[in-house]
Amino acid sequence: MKRRVPKVADLAPLMQFKKPQFDAKKRRLDAALTIDDLRTIAKRRTPKAAFDYTDGSAEAELSIARARQAFADIEFHPAILRDVSKVDTSCTILGGRSELPFGIAPTGFTRMMQTEGEYAGARAAGHAGIPFSLSTMGTASIEDVKNANPSGRNWFQLYMWKDRERSMALVERAANAGYDTLLVTVDVPVAGARLRDKRNGMSIPPALTAKTVLNALPRPQWWIDFLTTEPLAFASLDRWSGTVAELLDTMFDPTVTFDDLAWITRQWPGKLVVKGIQTIDDAKAVTDLGVDGIVLSNHGGRQLDRAPIPFHLLPEAAREVGNDTEIILDTGITSGADIVASVALGARFTLIGRAYLYGLMAGGEAGVNRTIEILAEQITRTMRLLGVASLDELTPAHVTQLQRLAPRDRHVQSQPPAM
């Protein structure tokens, strides 16, 4: 091989340096290319109790692991030679437009994760043209969230309390504030056993123990924000001093039935969605009540561990009730490919919870914007690689759910050995 002395003109194209970014927040968010990258940043910047409340689930945390594995266990079937120079990611959901096939799920205690809390989520959702859902357990009021997202779509999530009058007072406030959809969550008769929270002594407001102080030392910005902004409280509830589990068990009503759901449906003037459907029979039952939509969800694995995997229920639910009600999916979504697969198998829409909170903890409103950007980029790229230019072109033929867990026939008994 003949060698030569390199010329400056040959080296110049190889020696291009990026302009330095002096904004530390923008630098770390720009470096995040996936939701898991945002999770890594969030864990580094957030005290353990707050991070674990977001990241954890119930008991052995099998439900959330299985839900995520279900999305990993798919095979896409792309079509080639299609014009995908322009891709439309918008859809119509519950009578309104969304620029992307996902919205922000209702999450509780949100300002504990990062002080901008629901305000950041609502503003980011409004900017992106997607719905924002406020939880009954939110730390910003119904009216303040509306003010943060005045022209966007706001949804309100309701837990039925033992005190029905207080529950319906919240519903009335949401209607008066212009929320267009009510999400009635039905999978919380009692609180799930969230063991990370118990081990961390997670309470509202956070307790300053020696352990929490030591854990906070490398995370001064979280504590500066926490101590210099309005006190953390439940905006829709009276002040509470105690553990999260104690609050949930005090507030949630294990006597709620289908009759209560029918009664709520008659009270609400907008669209009504039932969140927490985990069987086909229940999907049919609430659809028969005339609800506008259902959310296939096991509460992010935070209630009954080993609960059904919503993504696995989706194809049959779409066949059984998809023509009669709008199907929304949550639990386990960590990428735009997960969302595309859900739409292909019959979901009209999806909701993101942890993914949004990871972005919030990583960088406030800018971090939520980054979450939405990452998912939007992944959705667009996946659609192009599949050869579809709009969500309506996605069909079950584009996705195969690969089998990892399969039920055994409960009627088949092992036979004793022959004598």
What is the rounded CA–CA span in Å between residue 224 and residue 226?
A: 5
Contact criterion met (CB below 8 Å) for 337 and 378: yes
Higher per-residue pLDDT: 2 or 129: 129
What is the number of alpha carbons within 13 Å of residue 404 lying toward its C-beta?
Answer: 14
- For 297-309, what is each residue's pLDDT tens digit? 999 989 999 999 9
Distances (CA, A) of 419 to 257, 391, 416: 53, 61, 9
**Distances 297 to 82, 96, 340 between C-alpha atoms, Å:** 34, 22, 17
Show Cβ contacts of residue 314 under 8 Å, excluding neighbours closer than 6 positions: 296, 327, 329, 342, 345, 346, 347
Going by the DSSP 8-state scheme, the letter that residue 95 receives in this structure is: T
Residue 10 has pLDDT above 80, yes or no: no
Other C-beta atoms lying within 10 Å of the C-beta of residue 336: 24
The helix/strand/coil state of 164 is helix
Average pLDDT for residues 60-71, to the nearest whole number?
95
What are 323-356's pLDDT values in tens digits? Answer: 999 999 999 999 999 999 999 999 999 999 999 9
Give all strands (DSSP E) within 271-341, no chain letters.
271-277, 293-296, 326-329
Rg (the chain; Cα; Å): 23
Verify whether residue 411 is a known catalytic residue.
no
Q: Which residue in 127, 299, 312, 411 is the catalytic one?
A: 299
Per the model's pLDDT, the better-predicted residue between 332 and 222 turns out to be 332
Contact 352, 121 (CB under 8 A): no
Instruction: Identify the weakest region by mean pLDDT among 84-88, 151-155, 186-190.
Output: 186-190
CB 320 within 8 A of CB 280: yes
Residue of higher predicted confidence among 123 and 263 = 123
Q: Can you give the pTM of this predicted structure?
A: 0.90
For the chain, give the mean pLDDT. 89
**Any idea which residue has 């939110």 for tokens?**
138
What is the three-class DSSP state of 175? helix
Split at pLDDT 50, 70, 90, the class of 413 is very low
